[in-house]
Amino acid sequence: MRLHVFFTPAEIIASGTQQDDIYIVIDVIRATTTLAVMFDQGAARVFVAGSIAQAREAAQKVPGRLLCGERNVKPLPGFDYGNSPVQFSQLNLSGREMILTTTNGTRAFYGCPEDAICLAGCFYNARAVTSYALRLAQERNSNIALVCSGELGYFALDDSVCAGFLALELQRYSEEFPQETPLLFHESVSAAIALYQAYEPPKVLDYCESAQSVFRAGLNDDPYFCLRTSESTSVPMVVGKEEETGLLVLEK
C-alpha cells in the first residue's frame, strides 16, 4: 500500500495511477474546508461544478439548491453565497442541497479518475479523513493519493503543507493500527512533510498566495479558520455524477 502526493491535479494524468486508488483532494484555502463545514452544518449533499456556466445551468434545471462559489476570491453575481467557511459555519443548512464552484478546488475533483473514491481533505477534518481513507485502502488493498488543487494550475504552498500534515496523520494511524500491508511513502510524501515542517501553520499564511488573496479581499478570518485542525468529523465523498446536470455529487 503506497502513499503518493500530487502537487497539482495535472500530475495525476501523467502518473498512470489506478482508478481503484483512494484520492484525497486538498484545497485547504478554502474549498475543501468549506465542504467539510457545509456537511457539519447539515447539508444533505453538495453538487460540485467545474465551471460557472455548469453551476448556473444546474441551478436552473433543479430549483431550490443554494448556488455557491467564487472566482479569484470574488463572489459571483446571482449566487446565494461565496466560498467562505466562516460564513457557512454560521448557517443552518439542515437538509439543503448546495451547488459549489470555485477557482481551484472543485476543478481538482474532476481531475481524479472517474469512478474513483474521492474524498475532500483539509486541516479542519484531518483526523476524520485520514482514518477513513486508511480504513478504505486496507479493505480494498489499494493505494492512497493526496491531490493538491494548486493555484491556477500551478503549485500551491498551502495545499502542499496540508498534504504533509495529512501524510503524517496517515503514518501515525498506520503505526497505531498496524496491518499486514504496511504504508509505503513515495518520495513526494517526504517533500510534502518537509514543507509542512518548514512552513508549519500559521507560518504558511505569510508565504502562500491563496491566503494573501483572501486577506486582500477583506476576509481576514477565513485563512485562520482553515488552519483549525481536526474539528470536523465530516468526510465529504464523491458518490457519483448526477445524470440530469452532469455534476459530481458529494455526500457525508
d(CA 234, CA 236) in angstroms, rounded, equals 6
Q: Could you tell me the CATH number of the domain that includes residue 21? A: 3.90.1560.10
Q: Please count the structural domains in the chain.
A: 1
The string of DSSP letters for 158-180 reads HHHHHHHHHHHHHHHHHHHS--S
Residue in 210, 250, 209 with CA at minimum distance from that of residue 226: 210
The string of DSSP letters for 227-252 reads T--S------EEEEE-TTT--EEEE-
Residue 17 — very low, low, confident or very high, per pLDDT cuts 50/70/90? low
pTM across the whole model: 0.96
Q: What is the pLDDT of residues 170-218, one digit of tens each?
A: 999 888 877 777 899 999 999 999 999 999 999 999 999 999 999 999 9
List phi, psi (to 5°) of 133: -65, -40
Q: What is the pLDDT of residues 20-78, one digit of tens each?
A: 799 999 999 999 999 999 999 999 999 999 999 999 999 999 999 999 999 999 999 99
Q: What is the overall mean pLDDT for the chain? A: 95
Q: Exposed, middle or buried: residue 183 (CB in 10 Å: 0-12, 13-18, 19+)?
A: buried
Q: Which domain holds residue 113?
A: 2-251
